[in-house]
Every structure is written in structure tokens, then in C-alpha cells.
Structure 1
Amino acid sequence: FRKGPGVKSSAGHTSVKQYARRGQHSEKSSNCSISLDRMPSEILLKIFSYLDAVNLLCAGCASRRFYHLANDNFIWLRIYSTVFSPKRSNWKVNSVEETTVSVSGLSVEDKEAGYWKKEFIAKQITSVKTALAQVLQPVSPYTGLPVKTKEALRISGLGWAIVLREKSGKEYIMQHVDLSLNDTSVTVVWYGKNWPCLATLTTLDLCGVTPVFMDRHKPPAKNGPRWHSLIAKYDLSHLTESTMIGCDRLVQIFCLHPGLLVGLWKKEEELAFVMANLHFHHLVERSTLGSASVPYELPLHSPFLDDSPEYGLHGYQLHVDMHGGGVFYLCGTFRNLFTKKGCIEDGYVKLVVINFKNNREHLPLIGKVGLAWKTNIFDGFIKSCSIVDITLLDEHRKPFWCLSSPVCMRSAACPSDGPNFLGQTYYVDYMDTEGRVHAELVWIEETEEYFIVSLVLYLSVAKINHWFGQN
């Protein structure tokens, strides 16, 4: 009976001793610890000399002192010469001093701090641009677009982000969660649980995001520096009834031009998901060559000589895709499209693709048209909505008008003049500054499928005149 307390006392005494020893050890270790900020610059420079370009840039973001030390020309000259110097039989990495001496024409003393860092970044970006230009050179005769766009996206390490901005100026940056590559476009999706309150938001910026340093043979570092290229800016105050194109029992979706789809929860009227639809035409350039605040400017168009203006537009080719959530409802190419010079209505030239009165041109849509959506919790399907990709080529097989945008089918009160169909007629319309798209579809109850019975493009006269240099 007496041993009990004695054992407890002994055990308690032992535990106190152990605690005291640990305390002495921690006190001794705290006295021996050295802060990186207190290290001499010479030692820090020696440590930095073992870092690669990505980690060196990240180290420079830690503090003002680290930033200046990470700009050291000797270190960046070594990195520059290692990456861009001609191949040598001796693969041993030389010291900073040896490398400086061995590279002819390169100097350190007469250059300002950070000079070789800027030179390295500029040459790295140029090399990636050159590699992308070579990949994007072959063009498909069917779409007029680069054949290897998907490979270029992989090489560049390209991703996309949205920047949500509050009235106070606070920003929320969200990286894309999912994407799907289509024939002539890419669909990028954002969703999650931590959306900011919609009432506080004013604008949404869509940006391409690429690693500053990219090795085509290695995946990009997850935490490395990134370059943002503004693609489009959207005003969230336009999420009104006039821009709503569809809904289901959980969400309602809004279309903001160009090509943005915003889904809001019906109950809370808060953000559920964002979907961007980007056409492949100049996609890599627009996603990589702009800045965070200024979009990439397309190269100036060299007007084509119209050798037969009396015949109007001729020899045009259209590739059209209609899809939603990975399911394609229509995929077709229409050749030898033409229009007469005098066929102008309200500032638009009418280009008939599918003639309403010609039954042989009518095409069925595969499956029931709708747009699939998902978040990390729910998913759904919005009927009568889809994504339409338009790629119109001129007579020289150059992209004349390209777009990728959400659209919806609206019931027509009265069908157009022409043959009578045993089914409800629907309209699909799209419009921007360069033209309009009008399609008519008929629902055939017996076969339970849609038929597209009319497809007409209305091209802006101003766009045509600019294309042929007649402004």
C-alpha cells in the first residue's frame, strides 16, 4: 500500500528531470541557432550559388536583402553560361570565377546588379517562343489552324487563371481546376468552396499563366515564378436577366462575351463555377505574350488583293463544332461558300451555309442538346444550351472569323418562310463586332432528334473592307 505513492513520487521526480533536461537542451539549441538574416553576405552568396534559376528567383522574394543578393551577376552569369553556352565534352560544372573567365565576351564588373538575371530571363523566354513558333508552323487544311496546338500547350506549360477583383481593390486569384481540349477550342473550368461573395466583386480577369522558366523535357515546378497574360476582362455587373441563357434546378448560367460562362447557385445567388471557352486561333500567343494588365495585340493584318471583286466573297470554308460537356452534337466542314457582292443587309453580308429550302443540306444533331456542368459537390445538365465553335476561312485558307461561345436554343414563335416541318422550331443566335450567326433547328418528335435546317453567317461589311484593305 505504501509503495504506491512512493512509485508515483519516483515516477513524477523522473519526469521532472527529463523535462528539465529537455528545457536545458532547447535553451542551448536556441542559443546556438543562427538566423539567415544575420549571416554574412559572403556565406549567403555561397549558398545562393548552389541554387538553380527558379529557386534563386524564389529566394529573392523573401526579403529586400535577399532580393539584392539574388541579383548577383556572378551567380547569374554562371547560370546563363551553363544553360546557353555551346556543348562541351567536359560536363563538370566550373566555379563562378572559372566560368566567368571561360566565357569570352561576357563581363560582370561593368554591368549593373541584376543585368545577367534580366539577360537570362529574356533569352529563356525567347527560346521558348522560338520553340513554340516552330511547333505552331504546320497548319491544317481543314481548319486553317496549327496542327500541333495541343503539343504547344504542353510544351509551354500553359494554364489559365481568373482574377476576381473586389470594389476595395482586393484580388482573388484562382487556378483552373479542369479543362477539356476540343477540335478547335479548349474549355477551362473553375469551381470550389472558397468563392468570395459575389456582391463585393466588380470584375473578372481571364489570364493565361505560364512558367517563367520552361524546360520542354521536364514538367514545370509547382511553386516556380509564373507569367500572367491578360486575355479578357469582364464586368460582373452584367450578370443580369438579359445575359442568362439557361438554368436547371440548382444553377442558372450567364454568358459574358467573349466566351465566358458564369454559373450561380439559384438559392444563394453566389458563384458556383466559371467556364471559359477559348478558340485555338492565336490562343498560345494571347495566353503567353501579353502582360498582367495589357492583352496581347494581334499582328497587323496584311490585306489581300481581291482579284475579282465583282463576284463578291467566294471559295470560303467553314468548320463548325457544337458540343457540351465533352459530347459533340455537330462537327462539320462546309466548303465553297460564296455570296454575291450586292447581298448586303443592314451592314452585313449574308453567307448561306445550310439552305432552309434545300432538304438535302439539312443535318441531324447527335443526342439531346445540353450543357453538362460540375463542381466538387454537385453536377447537372442544362437543356438547350451548348458551346459553338466557328472557324471561317477565306479563299486563301486563312482564318477570317473565329469564335467559341456558349449559346442557347430559344423557341421560335413562328417558323421562317419555307417548308413546313412537323415539329417545334428553335433559333440559335450569336453576335459580336465582326458578325452574326443564325441557325434554325427543328425537333422531330418521331425520331426524338434535332435537325439543323438553316445556318447563315452575317459578316460585317466593315470587317470585310478591312480584310481587303478598302477602309
Structure 2
Amino acid sequence: MGSSALLSGISGRKVSRSFAAWPGDGSEVVWAGVESLCLRPAMKPEPRLSIESLPPEILVKIFSFLDAESLLSVGCVNRRFYQLASDNAIWLTIYSWCFKSKRAFWRMDSGPTQTLSSGSAALQDKNCDYWKEKYISRQIAAVQTRIIRSVDSLRSPLPHKNKEAMRAAGLSWMLILEEKNGREHLKAKRKVSFQDASLNIFWYGINWPCLDFLATLRLYGVVPLFPQSRKGPCYHSLIAEYHLADLTALGADKIVQLFTLKPGLLVGLWKGTKEIAFVSASLHYHQLMERSILGSAAHPYAPPPHQPLLDDTDPEYGLHSYCLHFDIHSGTCAYMCGTFRNLFCRKGEIADGYVKLTAVSSLQDNMEHCPLATIPGLSWQTEELKGTVKECCVLDVTLLDENGKTFWCFSAPISMELSSRTSSCYDVLGRSYSTEYCEDSEGRVCVEFIYVSESRQYIVVSFVIYVSTKKVNEWYGTDY
């Protein structure tokens, strides 16, 4: 018997058989017990009201009462809100209020109302988000100007002053990993460590994409668009772009393998896998604020062209009076630092397109100036684990010209490789290690260490910088 026929034959409220029936006449079967049922009219669901169901005209009216920060946040909800929150009339009003002409402060009738009275011409033949983009561009320029002016007084070679300047700017850093199919993964910085000449930024966590799927990695400076709100909309300044095909092995311990990318990037993989454990970046302080603030999302900051320092009285101008400062550290703690002044190169020592500047060349100087009390290592950490890869470290180099201006600088992870040197003097002391960092267009640095087993110290026995003659000629206006 069908359910509808059975229901029509029921004379009472109870039945002796269990069944389920859903008649199509607007009634709903509701069980009152195992053998009881009763019929009641079906309740029609009330229509659900939400802000998304409102007509676009109403939404635009609501959005017109929001400030710029809230309006940009609303545009992130969905595609429809983004289009409505980009309304030119709304943004023209905001733009007029925020960027009044000087005359507007003196004339009461020259405010946004007067601007909007002739705004029909300003709204015609404009893209749907023209005034929003114009406002954002002006706001970014205003923030950049304010930050650069405010931090100029805080600039200093002292690390705590650099830290203070960056905090005052609300500056942070972000990593974007792009897969070969174009998909992007955003990673916000987890930890920052400040050294004498550089800072180290660490990213770690879960849900890293597999290395085999990645194509590029981009490092951005992140600055809040509205200084009073550090968690609101931000703009990005591209610092560097890395191609993961250029990974170079650096070292390993029992847990992770370290790989480097120039300039100054370190990628840690879980040993024996292609899974990322962490990423860190070493950034030299020189022009770091400009690179983190004044670039765009697509292009890094381009410094103004250098004016050559011409001097016809000295035929070897550009070959002497250099000052070198270097730091060797783990990324979190210092191992060694040193300063060498009045470095020079004779004209006859220029070879293979490089000017040779020797900072350390004798064992006696090394014993006095450059011992490491502990075995150097490069620190790493994740959410659950941390460690140190021995005989790896971060090298910071700052080379100044005779006027004290930064001529060449970098911060980069390096490895100490066992050298094949067979000098009898060095053999008595212990094993010999060497390291080299090279930038084709700038120069290279070669450092040699000796491990003294009796005192358990590493001593720098050679520190030589080779600067490209092309760079020297461009800096000084010479022709070597």
C-alpha cells in the first residue's frame, strides 16, 4: 500500500506499523513516538536576509559612509563587493577630502562639495577604479615621504638605532613562493634578529609547498598604508626575486640540509626530502629602508645614479684609502668582527679585471685581531626544532671609500670548506679552512681560517677582497 493511501485510511491518531510518509499536499508527517504520528501544516522557511542580498544601489550608499581603510577591507570580501567598493564617486569624495588643495584650507566653500559639484567631468571616461587607484598612489607617496623624513634622524650604524627606525616605520617583510603553475603562497615573517651590519629574517611553520613545484621566490618589504593601523591594508616593495633553479648546497646536519640563493637567502630542507623546513634572509643595512619602502610590487628600488669622484692630481686615485668592516655571525649571535683601514692596491697588482685589497695576510696579525673563541655554526629553527649547522656562518662585509661612503657591501651565508693547503706552519697549528663569496659584477671575497687545536680557536690567516675594476672606474671616473 502506498503511503498516501495508507494516510487516507487512518481514522485515529495512532497506527500499529512504523512507516514514513511525506504527502505532497502541504502536510508534514511528524512522529510523536514509536507508534504515534500527528499531522501538522508545513512551516514555510522565512527568507534569509543578508547584506549580500541587498541591491547594488543600497550597497553603494552604505559603502559611501565608510572611510578609505574600511572601504579597502570591504573590497576583499568577494568580487561583487570589490566592484561596488571601487565606485568612482565614493573614491572621488575620499580623495577630495584627504588631498585638498592649499586653497581649501583658507576658503570655507572650496572643500569636497565644490570639487564634487564639478565632479561629473571627473567621473566621465574614467575606469571603474580610477579614483581608488589615484588615491592609493597618493597615499603611498605620502607614507613613503613621511617615513623617510622621520627615520633620517634615527639612521645610525648602531643596530638598536636601525631597529628603532624600522619599528617606527611599521616595517615588516613577507615572502611569496610562486609555483610553476602560477599559484602563490604568502609567508609572513616569524622572527627578526639584528646584528651590527645586517638583520636576519626567519620564516618557518607548516604547509610549505614542495620544492619541486616551486619556480620563484620573492622577498617584499611590507608597509602599512595607514600608519595608525598596523593590521590594515599594506603596500609591498619588492626587495629581491630568486629563481629556485639556482639553489646551491651549503651544508647539513642530522636534520636539515642548507641551500643558498643570491643575494643572501637561505633555504632549509628536511634532510633527504624536498620539503621546506624554513627560509631565512640576510639583509645588509645599507639602503635597506629604501629597498623595503620605495620600491613597487613589481620592481625593486632603483638608487639614484652615482656621480663619479674625479681627481686628476693622483694617477692611482681609487686604489687606496679603503676601509673594511666585517662581521661573522650565526644569524643570531656574533662570532667575530674586525675593521681594517687604509687598504690599497698597487697598479701592477690589478689582474683579471680585479683590484686586490688585502686586509689580513700574516699570522701575527691574525693572532692579535681575528680569533674565534667557538666553532662557528649557522643557527636555524622551526616551530618545534632548532639547531646549528657547524662550519657554516653568515659573513657581513662593508667596504667604504676614502670619504666614508659605502662602496660595496653584502650579507650572505657561507660555508667553511677544508682546504688542501700544505704549509708546514699551518700544519702545526691544525686544519686549514677556506671560504669564498663571489658576485660577478661586483667582486669576490676570499677568507682562510686555521683551527688551533690546543686553544680550540679558529683564526683568520687571510682576508682578501677583489673588487671589479669596472665598479672602481664607474665610482671614481677612472680607467684602469
Query: Which category of TM-score, normalised to the shorter sequence, fits these structures?
Result: 0.7 to 0.9
Partner of 1:60: 75
Cα RMSD (Å) of the superposition?
3.4
TM-score (normalizing by structure 1) = 0.81
Which of the numbers 296, 303, 316 marks the counterpart of 1:298? 303
CA distance in 2, matches of 1:399, 1:139: 18
How many residues of Structure 1 are paired with residues of Structure 2 in the alignment?
Answer: 434
Could you list the per-position Cα deviations for residues 34-74 of structure 1 after superposition, in whole angstroms to 9, with x for gaps in the alignment?
Answer: 55343351x32332133221220132344555344323455
2:265 equivalent to 1:260: yes
Partner of 1:214: 226
Partner of 1:333: 339
Alignment CA distance shift 1:106-1:129 (3 Å): farther
Q: Contact 2:269 / 2:275 at 8 angstroms: preserved in 1?
A: yes
- Tell me how far 1:442 sits from its aligned partner: 1.6
**Residue type at the aligned position of 1:27:** P
Partner of 2:167: 154
- Tell me how far 1:219 sits from its aligned partner: 4.3
Q: Which has the larger radius of gyration?
A: 2
Alignment CA distance shift 1:250-1:76 (3 Å): same
**Residue type at the aligned position of 2:167:** R
Partner of 2:8: none
2:136 equivalent to 1:121: yes
Partner of 1:401: 408
2:54 equivalent to 1:46: no
Partner of 2:194: 181
Q: Contact 2:56 / 2:84 at 8 angstroms: preserved in 1?
A: no
Paired residue secondary structure (1:109):
helix
Paired residue secondary structure (1:127):
helix
Which of the numbers 334, 345, 356 marks the counterpart of 1:350? 356
Q: How does 1:405-420 map to 2 (within 5 A)?
A: 405-414=412-421
Q: Contact 2:258 / 2:268 at 8 angstroms: preserved in 1?
A: yes
- Tell me how far 1:237 sits from its aligned partner: 2.6
CA distance in 2, matches of 1:34, 1:347: 70
**Residue type at the aligned position of 1:165:** E
Q: Contact 2:418 / 2:433 at 8 angstroms: preserved in 1?
A: yes
Partner of 1:429: 436
Paired residue secondary structure (1:352):
strand
Higher mean displacement: 359-368 or 393-402:
359-368
Q: Contact 1:157 / 1:219 at 8 angstroms: preserved in 2?
A: no
Partner of 2:470: 462
CA distance in 1, matches of 2:153, 2:423: 42
CA distance in 2, matches of 1:418, 1:305: 45
- Tell me how far 1:368 sits from its aligned partner: 2.3
- Tell me how far 1:342 sits from its aligned partner: 2.7
TM-score (normalizing by structure 2) = 0.80
CA distance in 1, matches of 2:117, 2:401: 50
Partner of 1:438: 446
Partner of 1:248: 253
Percent identity between the two aligned chains: 45
2:214 equivalent to 1:201: yes
Paired residue secondary structure (1:249):
coil
Q: Contact 1:205 / 1:233 at 8 angstroms: preserved in 2?
A: yes
Q: Contact 2:154 / 2:162 at 8 angstroms: preserved in 1?
A: no
Q: Contact 1:325 / 1:371 at 8 angstroms: preserved in 2?
A: yes
- Tell me how far 1:176 sits from its aligned partner: 1.9
Q: Contact 2:257 / 2:270 at 8 angstroms: preserved in 1?
A: yes
CA distance in 2, matches of 1:86, 1:147: 39
* Structure 2: gaps spanning 5 or more residues: 1-30
Paired residue secondary structure (2:142):
helix
CA distance in 1, matches of 2:422, 2:415: 17
Could you list the per-position Cα deviations for residues 251-309 of structure 1 after superposition, in whole angstroms to 9, with x for gaps in the alignment?
Answer: 11112211111111113232111111111122222223333333222221111113423
CA distance in 2, matches of 1:182, 1:426: 24
* Structure 1: gaps spanning 5 or more residues: 1-10
- Tell me how far 1:164 sits from its aligned partner: 2.0
CA distance in 2, matches of 1:146, 1:397: 18
